[in-house]
Amino acid sequence: MGAELLRLSHRKERDKRLTTHIFLSCRILGIYNIYYTGDKDEKLEKNINKVEKNWGKCLNVQHIKKPLKLIEEKKKEGYTIVHLTMYGIPYKQKINEIKKLKNILIIIGSEKVPSEIYKLSDYNISIGNQPHSELTALVILSYELNNCKLKECSVKSLYRIIPQEKGKKVVRNDK
């Protein structure tokens, strides 16, 4: 199953760290196509590119202005839309159905999500029915969809970590 992400309503100042963490987390979840709405944030995109320069380029991050148009296009292409919201159906009830799908677009919000998103989504899914964080919701859903495995970005990178019991060991791949 292939997954893409739509992150709604990024706010340049308030969400700068959280959105960065969401996008970087996508690198270990196998979600490489990312769309975001709200403020276009060149600094955020630059930071992501900087990390990917060292650790491998997997992400394709695009700022878009019309999320509903994207959703409609994706649906036409055969994608199933999975919106994460605390108001949705508990994920355990739907996870096996969603696992069988070929391509999904996962939607996460920040501030209030417009009601059209709930209507256009094929699944409105909750990770517990209390408010927490879009990052937590995304990671738990994706990790379950990946059968509790990481799907780490594994393209050629400049650096590689040699895991250590204690301390840090980072080597360059070109030396």
Which residues contribute to the site for ligand SAM (CB under 6 A)? 84-87, 108-110, 113, 126-128, 130-134, 137
Shortest CB 126 distance to ligand SAM, Å = 4
Q: Rounded to whole angstroms, how far apart are CA atoms 137 and 19?
A: 13
Query: Rounded distance, CA 136 to CA 167, Å?
Result: 28
Check if the beta carbon of residue 123 is closer than 8 Å to that of residue 89: yes
For ligand SAM, which residue has the nearest CB?
109
The Cα angle at residue 10 between residues 51 and 28, in degrees rounded to 5: 40
- Residues found in the chain: 175
Nearer to ligand SAM (CB atom), residue 55 or residue 91? 91
Least distance to ligand SAM, CB of residue 171, Å? 37
The least CB distance from residue 125 to ligand SAM, in Å, is 7
CB of 115 to ligand SAM, least distance (A): 11
CA separation for the pair 116, 104 (Å, rounded): 18
d(C-alpha 114, C-alpha 52), whole Å: 32
For ligand SAM, the closer of residues 87 and 159 by Cβ is 87
In the bound state with ligand SAM, the residue whose beta carbon lies nearer, of 51 and 135, is: 135
